[in-house]
Amino acid sequence: MEKVVLITGGTSGIGLALAEAFLAEGASVVVCGRSQTALDRFGQAHLQALAVRADVTAPEARAALLEAVTARFGRLDVLVNNAGTFVERDFAADDATAALDEEVELNLTAPIHLTGEVLRRWPSLDAVVFVTSGFALVSPTRAPTYGAVKAGLHGFADGLRRQLAPRGTHVLEVLPPTTDTPMNAGLDRPMLSAAEVATVTLDALRRRRPMALPGQTRLLPTMLRLAPRALGRRVAAL
C-alpha cells in the first residue's frame, strides 16, 4: 500500500525536494504553504499530488488541512514538519525582538501543535519527521533565536521518540547543514543540495534511524564530544 505523506512548507527548498523524492517512490503526497502562487506552480508540476493553502501557525488552518487530507486519502502515514523561517538577530546592536513571536510560533510551536493534532486523528501513524538544523546542536552567532527554536524542536523530537516507541511510530529528526535553498540564496559558500538532503532523509526513514545527518552535519555529534570549543568557533564564523 502506498504511503500518504504530508509535508509542511513543501513548495520550495528542502520541502519541495522531499515531496519530489516521496512522489518518485510512489507515495501520495500532500504539501501545504502560504503562497498560492507557489502552490499553483507545485500543483501544475505534480498533478497527482494535493497542494493546500494553509498557515500552520493558525489552528483553524491546521484543522482544515487535516480535513483536506482525510477527504482526499482517508488517512495519513507520514507527517513531515518542514515549514520554518530563518531570522538574523543581533541583540548586541539593536532591538532584536521584532516579530520574535511569529518566528517562534512557525519554527517551534506550530509543528508541536500539528504533531499532536495528527496523532490524535491518526494514532497509528507510521512516522513523524522534524526538519531541524545542524544549528539545533550549535547555535549560529548571527541568528541565536533560530538556534534556540531548532534546539527546542530537537528536544521535543527526542522525548516524543521515546513516548511513541511502544506504538511503533518512528520519529526522525533531519539536521541539514546550510543547504542551497531560496532562504540561503544570498550566501556565498558551498552548500548541500536540497535533493541530497531528501535522499539522506528517505534512507534514514527506511532504516528507521533516529537522525538523518546529511553532508557535514554527520560530523557534528563527534565534534561536539571531542572539540566543542573549536566547533563553536567554526559556527561563529557562519
What distance in Å separates the CA atoms of residue 209 and residue 39, rounded to the nearest whole number?
A: 31
Task: Taking residues 61-78, report their average pLDDT.
Answer: 98
Band of the pLDDT at 231, cuts 50, 70, 90? very low
Task: Taking residues 79-95, report their average pLDDT.
Answer: 93
Q: Where are the beta strands (DSSP E) in 13-113?
A: 28-33, 50-53, 78-81
Q: How many domains does the chain have?
A: 1
**Are the CB atoms for 30 and 54 separated by under 8 Å?**
no
Own/partner pairs, 222-229, CB within 8 angstroms, 24+ separation: 224/137, 224/138
Contacts of 231 (CB under 8 A, 6+ apart): 138, 220, 223, 224
Q: Within 25-99, where are the H helices?
A: 36-45, 59-73
Number of H helices, E strands in the chain: 9, 9
Active site residues: 146
Q: Where are the beta strands (DSSP E) in the chain?
A: 4-8, 28-33, 50-53, 78-81, 127-131, 170-174, 179-180, 192-193, 211-212
* Of 63-67, 71-75, 95-99, the least confident: 95-99
**Are the CB atoms for 89 and 103 separated by under 8 Å?**
no
Q: What is the pLDDT of residues 219-230, one digit of tens each?
A: 565 554 554 555
CATH assignment at residue 208: 3.40.50.720
Q: Which residues constitute the domain of residue 64?
A: 4-236
Contacts of 55 (CB under 8 A, 6+ apart): 34, 61
* 32 strand-pairing partners: 8, 52
Quick one: pLDDT at residue 219?
Answer: 59
Q: What is the pLDDT of residues 107-149, one digit of tens each?
A: 999 999 999 999 999 999 999 999 999 889 888 998 999 999 9
Contacts of 148 (CB under 8 A, 6+ apart): 139
Q: What is the pLDDT of residues 160-215, one digit of tens each?
A: 999 999 999 999 999 998 755 666 556 656 668 889 999 999 999 999 999 998 87
